Structures are given as structure tokens and as C-alpha cells.
Amino acid sequence: MPLPKRLPPIARPMIRTERELVAYVVRVVVLCAVLAVALDVLNQLTFFIDWQTSFRSWIISALVASVIAAPVALAIARTHLELYEAKLVVEELSRTDPLTGLLNRRALLGFTDGGMPEVMALVIADIDRFKAVNDSHGHLAGDEVIKMIGHAMQAELGTFGQVGRIGGEEFALVSSAGATEILIAALWDFRDRIAATPIVVGSASIRVTISIGVASRRPDQSFAELFAEADRALYLAKASGRNRVVSSDELHEPDITTPREPAAEASSERKYRSMG
């Protein structure tokens, strides 16, 4: 049966740190000592002998109550602290992809629950022909490829926002930092490095490429609509040859077969900022 919500804090402790644990133990010990002395005072009012005897009795009562209360309060406080820490671990596990250590789909998309920022871009990246990696090198090697791509994406693009794995060989970045042009230039650089850098797993040297779709949020656009645009941009990147970055702006251009690369000045600006 749950405790009534109106019980005092000492009966419903919220202990989240060692400092709060010590404070709780001190409060319990002081309270028990005071109650023990109060009961002894009532007893002395009935069976009073002299003041010396009364003071000695009160001191003994306070000491006995403190000695009994301290280990009990410590055990209770330690249990509550461990429960709180276990809760934090469970919450962290529920938000984390176990393979890469990145945010999972639930946590990544949860950043929009409290309302989306004014400036926002959504990036969806997918490893090209990933089934061939599993078929040629095995699923354990495939897992290593996913981990390496995820870690590289976090290292190179994490400054733009929150990076996560949203399923299989698919990753996402929710960005609210900087101009979209700078982000797209960084995405092309990231694509180039993935394509140029083999992933070594055991004795195998595995080369993969990635396709990326990116969408910038328009005013009053919902996150579901933004996600759909980024997903369509990713589909266009796949359909037009893979190993490229496609912006949702290109979805509205007629006869787009080859997505355009970023302007040289945008790429230069991004590199200049990274050097600074």
C-alpha cells in the first residue's frame, strides 16, 4: 500500500546525493533523540526523584535513541539513494542505443516534445547497401560498421545538435545551431571522409558510403512534416546514385537527377570556422 502523500518529508525521503543522505540521517537521529527525551520528561513528571537523576536519565535516553536511530536511518537513506541511482540508470538505458551509445529513436525525437526551436534542421543518414556488408562479412562486422559510423557522426557533427540512431543502419541529427548552408557543407565533408576511410574489422577492410537527406523547418511546420521531407530527401539521394547529400529544397526543383554539391564558399566558411 503506498504511503499517503501528505506524510512529512522525513517519512517520504527524496535522496539523490550523498549530501542529502547525511542530512536525512541527521534529521532522523535528532528527531528520535528529541522524542525519546520528551517521553522521558513525561515519565519524570510522574516519577520525579531529583534534578540530577532526571538530567542523567534524559542524556541516556537521547544517547540510546541516537545509537538505535542512526544505523536504521542510514540503511533507509542508502536504500532510497540506490533506488534513485537505479532509476537514473534505467532512464538512461531507455534513451540510449545499446550498440552505438548514441541516443535512440525515442530519445532523439523526444527533444521536440517541448516545442521546436525557431531554427531547426533534420538530417537522416543511411549506410548504402548495408545488407551486402552483412552478407559478405557477417553481422558482427556489420555491427562494428554501424558503431564506427555512429561514433564518427557524433564526433564530426555533434556540435550541430543531437545525434542518434533511429533504427538499423539509419542515423539522424536534430540541429538547431548555425545556418543550414554550413550544416550541408559539413555533411558533404562527412560523406567524403566516410567514403575515403575503410573500416577495419579483424582482417577485413570494409568500405562503405552513406546517403544523407536534410530538411530545414519552415514556419508552422510540424515535426512529422519535417521528418517526412528529410525522408524524401534521403530517398532522392538513394534513387539518384547514393553516396550523396540531398536537401529537401531540391525536392521542389524540376528534373532533379543529380543533387548539387554545396557552394565552394559555404564549404570554405565551414572549414574556416573549424580551424578557428
Catalytic residue set: 169
Locate 246 and state its grid cell: 540531398
What's the Cα-to-Cα distance from 96 to each of 52, 160, 166, 169, 238, rounded to whole Å? Answer: 65, 19, 11, 15, 28
Q: What angle do CA 45, 50, 51 make, to 5 degrees?
A: 85
What's the Cα-to-Cα distance from 40 to each of 29, 36, 132, 172, 185, rounded to whole Å? Answer: 16, 6, 81, 67, 78
The helix/strand/coil state of 123 is strand
DSSP letter for 112, please.
T
